[in-house]
Amino acid sequence: MNFQRRLIILLGVISIFIILINGCTYVTPDYDYDSYTVSYIKVTPSSATMQLSSSKKFKILAYDSENNLIPVDPSEVEWGATYECWVCGKVWKLNPESGSVTTYFTPERIGRYYIWGHYKGEIDDSRVDVE
């Protein structure tokens, strides 16, 4: 093996070693959430079909007046759900119910649900059919 090839391999191994030692760090951007004006939000997926007692992840996305995706302040997000039978009570679980851009929904009865998200005065929902 010639000297240049050995040097490239050595530098590659050293680079990988340094990355493994230091780890990968993700710096959360420091958004000024108040500088964004929310025109509307979307709860995704917009509809779903689920099996009883399974869980599904839902997420809130926020958009400005020009349909640009904007950052969502998790501390201002609230989640909720409704079920087709109003007198049946709460027959679902949401985890968490606030403080996160995502939530996990677990139905406890067969039927139609609506999962809704609320952020800065805007509301959107997702229809969920449970079989």
- Dihedral sign for Cα 38, 123, 102, 57, please: negative
73 vs 36: CA distance, rounded Å: 10
Global pTM value: 0.76
25-70 pLDDT, tens digit each: 555 567 788 889 999 999 999 999 999 989 999 999 999 999 999 9
Q: Could you say which architecture CATH assigns to the domain 35-130?
A: Sandwich (2.60)
pLDDT band, very low/low/confident/very high, at 1 (cuts 50, 70, 90): low
59-102 pLDDT, tens digit each: 999 999 999 999 999 999 999 999 999 899 999 999 999 999 99
* pLDDT at 4 > cutoff 90: no
The ranges assigned to domains in the chain are 35-130
